Amino acid sequence: MNLDVREMMLDETDIVIDYFHSSTPEHLETMGVDPTRMPGRSIWSSRFKELYAQPISERPNFVVIWRLDDKPIGFSSCDKIVFGSRANMHLHVVVPELRQRGIGVECVRRTVEIYFRTFALKQLFCEPNAYNVAPNRTLQKAGFKYVKTYKTVPGPLNYHQAVTRWVIER
C-alpha cells in the first residue's frame, strides 16, 4: 500500500467538487450535508482559485489530498483555522470500495501532522455527525479524544445536527 498524503494542488480540487456533487442524497444525509447549501460546480471552482491565491497562513481553508498508488482516493480539509491555535478537520475516502480497509485511519494520522505543522496548532478538532459511525471510530483510532456530543451547524454545507466533538491537543 503506497499512500501519499500532502497538500492538494489547485488543479486537483475537482475531486472535492465531484465528490459532493456525485454523492447520493443518502450519503450526504449520513454526513449531515444539506445539498441545497452546496455551491454550484463553477462557483465552487472559482472559490478554490481565490483560496489558492492567498498565502497559506491567511487561508480560511486548507485541503490535503490522499493518494493510493498514484491515484486520488480521498481528501481532508480543515477550516475555522486560527493560526498558532486551533482548526477543525474533515475526512473523506471518496472511493467507497476502499473504505474500511485501514486507509482512513492512516491518512488521518498523516493529515493531522500536516495541519499541526502548517498552522502551528495547539488543538485540532473534528465534529462528525454523531450517528455517522465511520468517522467517529476512525478519529478515535487515529488518536483523537472524545470531548462531547452536542447539536450545532458544524460547517457551511451542513444542517443543524447532533455531532461528536473530538480533539487532539499538543
Ligand X SMILES: CC(C)(COP(=O)(O)OP(=O)(O)OC[C@H]1O[C@@H](n2cnc3c(N)ncnc32)[C@H](O)[C@@H]1OP(=O)(O)O)[C@@H](O)C(=O)NCCC(=O)NCCS
Q: Which amino acid belongs to residue 35?
A: P
Write the burial class of residue 164 (CB in 10 Å: 0-12 exposed, 13-18 middle, 19+ buried).
buried
Residue nearest to ligand X (CB): 104
Q: Which one of 4-12, 45-53, 116-124, 127-135 is the stretch in contact with ligand X (CB under 6 A)? A: 127-135
Q: Which one of 48-56, 111-119, 128-136, 145-153 is the stretch in contact with ligand X (CB under 6 A)? A: 128-136
Beta-carbon contacts of 125 under 8 Å, excluding residues fewer than 6 positions away, are 80, 86, 87, 88, 89, 147, 165, 166, 167
The answer to whether 40 and 68 have CB atoms below 8 angstroms apart is no
Is 37 an interacting residue with respect to ligand X (CB under 6 A)? no
| Distance, CA of 120 to CA of 118 (rounded, Å) | 6
Gyration radius of the chain over CA positions = 15
Q: Which one of 35-43, 78-86, 115-123, 129-137 is the stretch in contact with ligand X (CB under 6 A)? A: 129-137
According to CB under 6 A, which one of 31, 64, 73, 78 is a site residue for ligand X? 31
Site string for ligand X, 131-160 (x = CB under 6 A): -xxxx-xx--x-------------------
In the complex, the residues that contact ligand X under the rule CB under 6 A are: 30-31, 90-93, 99-105, 128, 132-135, 137-138, 141
